[in-house]
Amino acid sequence: MIPRLQTDRLTLRAFREEDFEAWAAIMGDGDVMTFLGGKPMARSDAWRAMAMTLGHWALRGYGMWAVERKADGALMGRVGLLHPEGWTGLEVGWTLGKPFWGQGYATEAAASALRYAFLTQAVDRVVSNIDAGNKASQAVALRLGESKGAPAELCIGGARFIVDVWSISREDWQRRV
């Protein structure tokens, strides 16, 4: 049910139970979580997040992929599509472990996910909800061709967060490919 995508350096695939240790370490890293709730995620919450990722596929027909580096099979994080209740639209999002930052992996994986979104979903635009302080994710959004829009409020786990809504229209995406 969950398609496998390939890029030059990466495989985007379904999460597997054996990914959990690496996933829990990524989500338990305070630096990774700076703009994703602000605190390291407990192992039990990381498990629920991984299960929710798989459930999103069942409910929506799309979701986030586990990102695996082809060179060594390392689980790097997650990249893909999400649209939970109350969201600003169909989002392409990314979360990679700190050892994988600054090497173009997020852009490579997110570009593949964005392509998948526009080829399989009847949407006029795809968004990325990014904290105003997250300069690295803003740079990824720019490389994807997204433009910064108005801020919005998201409610996650009972907490409210203000994010900038970056987006790219189908028309603008088609001009880029």
DSSP 110-159: HHHHHHHHHHHS--SEEEEEE-TT-HHHHHHHHHHT-EEEEEEEEEETTE
Asked whether residue 15 is domain-assigned, the answer is yes
In the predicted model, is pLDDT for residue 158 greater than 90? no
| Segment 55-89, tens digit of pLDDT | 999 999 999 999 999 999 999 999 999 999 989 99
Mean pLDDT confidence for 88-106? 98
Asked whether residue 160 is domain-assigned, the answer is no
Asked whether residue 42 is domain-assigned, the answer is yes
Asked whether residue 83 is domain-assigned, the answer is yes
Strand partners, 79: 65, 94
Share of the chain above pLDDT 70, in %: 100
In the predicted model, is pLDDT for residue 1 greater than 90? no
Structural domain for 39, as ranges = 5-124
Asked whether residue 140 is domain-assigned, the answer is no
Listed residue (42, 120, 28, 116) closest to 77, CA to CA:
28
**CATH number for the domain including 34?**
3.40.630.30
Asked whether residue 149 is domain-assigned, the answer is no
Listed residue (65, 60, 135) closest to 95, CA to CA:
65
CA separation for the pair 117, 91 (Å, rounded): 9
| Segment 131-141, tens digit of pLDDT | 999 999 999 99
Asked whether residue 81 is domain-assigned, the answer is yes
Asked whether residue 49 is domain-assigned, the answer is yes
In the predicted model, is pLDDT for residue 13 greater than 90? yes
CA separation for the pair 36, 29 (Å, rounded): 11
Number of domains within the chain: 1
